[in-house]
């Protein structure tokens, strides 16, 4: 998968974009997942956390747009967790395609030919394999 304009952070919880570290675990809350199977496209979006420590984060909102998806899987959330935990990333990393059943491991050396995996605090997850993914900065709070 080609990462168009960003890289995964070495800490497995962030994205690096234009010299900014976007900490998805501490400074952003997951907002939405939109999947269009007909167009083989998905969009994941985050909004800056209202917590004081996130105030200086470079972007108020961001989204990742996946194009030409060839694999898409969602793991259900664990009911014992608070719904608030659904919006907090536990890890983001590439997983080898042979580990498609495994959501909670981190593979820091894995190739970008694998599945990009988002694992959340409530143990739900998203795995996507696509031709490309682009980070779209949203500069307006509501945009």
Using CA atoms, how far residue 78 sits from 7, 24, 119, 139, in Å, is: 29, 20, 12, 33
- 143 residues of the chain, pLDDT tens digit each: 999 999 999 999 999 999 999 999 999 999 999 999 999 999 999 999 999 999 999 999 999 999 999 999 999 998 999 998 999 999 999 999 999 988 878 777 677 889 999 999 999 999 999 999 999 999 876 55
- 48 forms bridges with which residues in the sheet? 28
57, 64 Cβ separation under 8 angstroms: no
Q: What is the number of residues in the chain?
A: 143
How do strand 125-138 and strand 2-3 relate by DSSP bridges? parallel
Report yes or no on whether pTM surpasses 0.85. yes
């Amino acid at each position: 998968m080609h990462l168009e304009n960003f890289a995964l952070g070495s800490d497995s919880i962030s994205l690096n974009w234009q010299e900014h570290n976007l900490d998805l675990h501490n400074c952003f809350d997951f907002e939405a997942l939109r999947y269009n199977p007909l167009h083989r496209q998905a969009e994941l979006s985050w909004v800056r956390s209202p917590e004081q420590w996130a105030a200086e984060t470079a972007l108020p909102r961001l989204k990742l747009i996946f194009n030409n998806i060839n694999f898409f899987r969602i793991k259900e959330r664990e009911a014992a967790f608070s719904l608030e935990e659904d919006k907090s990333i536990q890890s983001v990393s590439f997983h080898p395609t042979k580990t498609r059943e495994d959501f909670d491991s981190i593979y820091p050396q894995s190739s970008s030919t694998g599945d990009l995996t988002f694992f959340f605090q409530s143990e739900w997850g998203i795995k996507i394999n696509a031709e490309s993914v682009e980070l779209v900065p949203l500069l307006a709070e509501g945009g």
